[in-house]
Structure 1
Amino acid sequence: MLRRSPLVLLAAAAALALSACSGGSPADGVVGGSSSAEPSGSASGTGGVLRVASEGTYAPFTFHDQADGGKLTGYDVDVITAVAQEMGMQVEFTDVTWDAIFAGLQAGRYDVVANQVTVNPERQALYDFSTPYTTSTGAIITRADDTAITSVADLAGKTTAQSLTSNWAQVATDAGAQVEGVEGFTQAVTLLKQGRVDATVNDDLAALDYLKTTGDTSVKIAGSTPDTSQQAFALAKGSDLTPKIDEALAQLQADGTLAEISTKYFGEDVSQ
């Protein structure tokens, strides 16, 4: 569940071709300007300011909390802010649409992308990645009283609700389920609770966030899929910030900060 000389255009095209990940805003360009956790006196990581790009529309990872005056918050925001503090740097955030985020990284508009970027070989060929700070798997969600489905194999002959363009729809189809198309996770859960489908397959982070924020006890995570992915911060190839971020992440892992942030958003530690 990842934005102009000719070289930059080529990199942008490559980034767009690789955009099947956790984010996915359709428009191009910078949204909402930038916000800063501390006043910034420099626009460069080497000047004591870590410039961070995120969508700002991807809860619970990076979003603007309207109940808190529109403040940028979220799991990824908290983790990269803690990293910057560990490095002795101020952090400056910029909202960027997913389709533009890697082109901006290549153009040097910011130092790091913090937006649940899934690590894969194609992206590793183009960008530096930090040590992963999130590990996610596929989750099978059923009604709480359903004991018939506990694994992918049990989906055979069942009906699931899935976004038809997601990889989870393919997982369900390959398992022998009949897939009913929905717009997103919330609609899938609604159909599940109404008894119109037997299950839905999705990223476990989405399921954990839903269960924690809603307190809904009528559905449960009944099993998992073999799929596992890791998310990390993306930086320009050869960035001297990469080892420094890794060092900070190691310290935050060791002192329990990452586990604390994970528990705040998901009710358990998803950082390992």
Structure 2
Amino acid sequence: MNILKCLLLAGVVQLTALSSAFAAGDLAGIKSAGVIKIGTEGTYAPFTYHDALGKLTGFDVEIGEAIAKRIGVKPEFVEGKWDGLIAGLDADRYNAVINEVAITDARKAKYDFSTPYIASHAALIVRSDNTSIKSFDDLKGKKSANTLTSNFGKIAKDHGAEVVGVQGFNESIDLLTSGRVDATVNDSLSFLDFKKHKPDAKVKIAAISDSADSEYSGVIIPKGNPQLLAAIDKALADIKADGTYKQISQKYFGRDVSK
């Protein structure tokens, strides 16, 4: 009889532990702990990176800090490589990931997303003195520097451009400013970050693509946490309403990037 009681007691303890571990991931558990754990890379400037003093910072980091403050808890950032970052949600390493995770149907099938907190658009970038390219249709017969497998390269090609292959954004700008290509179709956020650091660079955005080519990112959390999702959405709405979001956005990009 004593052995049976011990086995029953052990089972109750185990179930209680499992219940507590699960509850720790919901809003009540997060508030009880006083901490929300946030997964991020820490190597993806200007969104999440380490400054000269080694401090984790960036646009996404400050957004995460602002969300935690509105929920009433402290943020604890857990860094990891991109390849396993989202999978860390399945392993309960953190409660959410804030790392420029694009909202896609495939990801929405397995996880929940907040309302979008940042938008990236395909931007048509030309030299500052270029007056002949004003729209994507003007790319016909022109040379555009792009990575060959990117969606941006496909956009350029679909509009009649000859795509000149490059390794990344910086090489695209180098070819553009040196006159070896006429344009580059690229990420609007990358361009804003570039101009923030090099405001005198002789390049400009001639046109922005329509919403069909835009990419929206949100806070991603495990499914089955509706209260946590609602709290994050409310926090995002609040920081946009009170000007906090705009202040963070201006700091990193020089403009509001929520739209």
TM-score range with shorter-chain normalisation? 0.7 to 0.9
Matches for 1:22-171 after TM superposition, within 5 Å: 45-46=30-31, 47-65=33-51, 67=52, 69-171=53-155
Alpha-carbon distance change, 167 to 196 in structure 1, aligned in 2, over 3 angstroms: same
- The alignment-based identity, stated in percent, is 50
Q: Once the 2 structures are TM-superposed, how far is the Cα of residue 94 of structure 1 from its aligned partner?
A: 1.4
* Superposition TM-score, scaled by structure 2 size: 0.85
Partner of 1:253: 240
Higher Rg = 2
SS in 2 for 1:82: helix
Structure 1 CA distance for aligned equivalents of residues 90 and 30 of structure 2 = 15
Query: Aligned letter for 2:108?
Result: Q
Structure 2 CA distance for aligned equivalents of residues 91 and 52 of structure 1 = 7
Tell me, yes or no, if structure 1 residue 229 matches structure 2 residue 236: no
Tell me, yes or no, if structure 1 residue 194 matches structure 2 residue 158: no
Structure 1 CA distance for aligned equivalents of residues 200 and 221 of structure 2 = 38
Where does structure 2 lack aligned partners over 5 or more consecutive residues? 1-28
Structure 1 CA distance for aligned equivalents of residues 95 and 42 of structure 2 = 17
1:173-211 deviations in Å (ceiling 9; x for gaps): 111111111111111101100000111111111111111
Does the 8 Å CA contact 1:151/1:225 hold for their aligned counterparts?
no
Structure with bigger helix share is 2
SS in 1 for 2:50: strand
1:31-64 deviations in Å (ceiling 9; x for gaps): xxxxxxxxxxxxx634111111111111111111
Partner of 2:11: none
Query: Aligned letter for 2:30?
Result: G
Task: Give the total of aligned pairs.
Answer: 227
SS in 2 for 1:56: coil
Name segments (4+ residues, structure 1) moved above 3 Å.
none
Tell me, yes or no, if structure 1 residue 269 matches structure 2 residue 253: no
* Superposition TM-score, scaled by structure 1 size: 0.81
Query: Aligned letter for 1:148?
Result: S
Q: Once the 2 structures are TM-superposed, how far is the Cα of residue 216 of structure 1 from its aligned partner?
A: 2.8
Structure 1 CA distance for aligned equivalents of residues 208 and 58 of structure 2 = 25
Structure 1 CA distance for aligned equivalents of residues 246 and 133 of structure 2 = 30
Query: Aligned letter for 2:242?
Result: D
Q: Once the 2 structures are TM-superposed, how far is the Cα of residue 225 of structure 1 from its aligned partner?
A: 1.6
Where does structure 1 lack aligned partners over 5 or more consecutive residues? 1-43
Structure 2 CA distance for aligned equivalents of residues 110 and 189 of structure 1 = 37
Structure 1 CA distance for aligned equivalents of residues 179 and 202 of structure 2 = 11
